[in-house]
Amino acid sequence: MPDPTVPPTPPVPLASLLAREDLALRQIAGPRDPGLAVHWAHTSEMADPYPYLLGGELLLTAGVHIPDAAGEEAAGEGTSFDDYVSRIVAAGGAALGFGLAPVHDTVPRALVAACDARGLPLLVVPPQTTFSAVARALWQLMAQARHAELRRVTEAQQSLASAASRPDPVPSVLRQLARRVGGRAVLYGPEGTEIAAAGREPGTEVGPALAELARVVRPGSRPPSATTPAPASATDTTGGTPLAAYALGAGRGFVLGVAAPRREPGDHTIASVAAVLLSLLTGEHRSGTEAARSSALVRLLLGAPPESVAPLLGGERWQVVHGRPEGQDPDELTASALGAALGSPLVDLADGVVRVLVPGEREPLAQPGWALGVSDAVAPADWPAADTRAGRALARARATRTPLVRYGARPALADLVPPDAAEAHARTLLAPLDETLADTLRGWLALHGGWDRTAVALGVHRNTVRQRIARCAALLGTDLDDPDVRMELWFALRQR
């Protein structure tokens, strides 16, 4: 699949292909629209090319299926030419290129008339120009257009980033976005009101249509009976003007609206970058979390108790979430991404674990590629205890390969053993096993000794699982069919 952050290869104007002197193509019929674009070239000598066209092609043919031009009028082929052209138009073909020689010396007059009648551009391909040369020229023009579009997107990204660092970041980003897409950019607030805008004023129909499209993507705008959440973005067209709307942030209610005179391949990428920047800017603008966090930190450093600082952070009860990504150590970027996904800027990264402080009324959800442990909701005075419980929940999530585990109110057996003692016991008991054997044993126990399910989970053959489990039993000198042994090993693996 193509990278969604890279604009697709743009089509090539037919006029650019006609301007290539090395091809010497001539248009002899059909509309001469400078905006007509070609997406690719396709050669076919089928009498009915409809089943083989995707739309947007320059269809190249030498007319093998067409009767000799000298006898076309006598043969009464006007109707068949009309059927041929109509099928190309129905398939969405952009233009027809007719090659002279070796079959025909001239283009049949009935074909010219049919293309004029059906509005299909007809090009003459001279004998010295091969169809391969036409296709190669088209790919070259497409590559040039793609390079230009990538350069435009890169320059736009840089200018948007610079605008976000200005003293007036939100208006600056909107101005740059409107300039880069050649239209208008609008920031709508959570209530649907227009907070800021830049660019030329749209038509009388465009403004209300853009505001309505923004309502479609605004979180909470759908009725309670709706079964699907609001989309993150949406597009529409009003009066020939393409419209787009992007929801900003995680449920904050801000929306970016964009109206442009045309929709270029890179416009979505540019608008998406602006949406990310505005999400960060409007998040701070709406809640003032940056100033509140700074004030809370200063008060804690000066000796204020956590319960007196908590109101500055926006809640009375809090949950602690411990997270670790699968197969890698987290860095600052992934830690911030987890905090954003959980809807909290209170993030800490230490010892390979990301800790996030989440308001108690918010429900942390499982995140793809992460193992999460969630504490119960507690008052600020109990934050340290909640941090410990979130760590135990994360250990349970990793041991059971579960995306998210919540700490239960009922104490577990593991809670009765001091963590240091439990870890020392696990280290001693499992010392004979290497990582591969320990992981296999953990998976086998988690799946209740199922050979096939364990093999599928680990991506190995079931005989490999059997051999590894037998090796574990031999190294540990124990009977893995004994439920007491299994329980003790499971406890140790969770602490490992």
| b/e map 416-437, b = 16+ CB within 10 Å | eeeeeebeeebeebbeebeeeb
The predicted model scores a pTM of: 0.46
- Are 314 and 286 spatial neighbours (Cβ–Cβ below 8 Å)? no
Phi, psi of 242 (to 5 degrees): -70, 140
Please give the single-letter amino acid code of residue 483.
P
**What would the mean pLDDT of 228-239 be, rounded to a whole number?**
80
- Are 202 and 259 spatial neighbours (Cβ–Cβ below 8 Å)? yes
Q: How far apart are CA 104 and CA 107, in angstroms?
A: 7
- Are 426 and 492 spatial neighbours (Cβ–Cβ below 8 Å)? yes
Predicted confidence (pLDDT) per residue in 137-193, tens digit: 999 998 888 888 888 888 988 888 888 877 678 888 999 999 999 999 999 887 788
Task: With cut-offs at 50, 70 and 90, classify the pLDDT of residue 491.
Answer: confident
pLDDT, greater one: 94 or 7: 94
Fold of 12-142: 3.40.1390
The residues spanned by each domain of the chain are 12-142, 165-287, 312-415, 419-495
Q: How far apart are CA 392 and CA 375, in angstroms?
A: 9
> Percentage of the chain with pLDDT > 90?
33
Residue 126: both structure tokens together: 């001279």
DSSP state of 478: S
Give the Å distances, CA to CA, from 418 to 393, 414, 490: 15, 8, 17
How many CB atoms lie under 10 A from the CB of residue 234? 17
pLDDT value, residue 342: 84
- Please name which of 352, 351, 494 lies closest in space to residue 426, comparing C-alpha atoms: 494
Predicted confidence (pLDDT) per residue in 96-128, tens digit: 999 997 889 899 999 999 999 999 999 999 999
Fold of 419-495: Arc Repressor Mutant, subunit A (1.10.10)
Fold of 312-415: Alpha-Beta Plaits (3.30.70)
Q: How far apart are CA 52 and CA 113, in angstroms?
A: 24
Q: How far apart are CA 370 and CA 373, in angstroms?
A: 10
Fold of 165-287: Beta-Lactamase (3.30.450)
- Please name which of 169, 158, 155, 167 lies closest in space to residue 278, comparing C-alpha atoms: 169
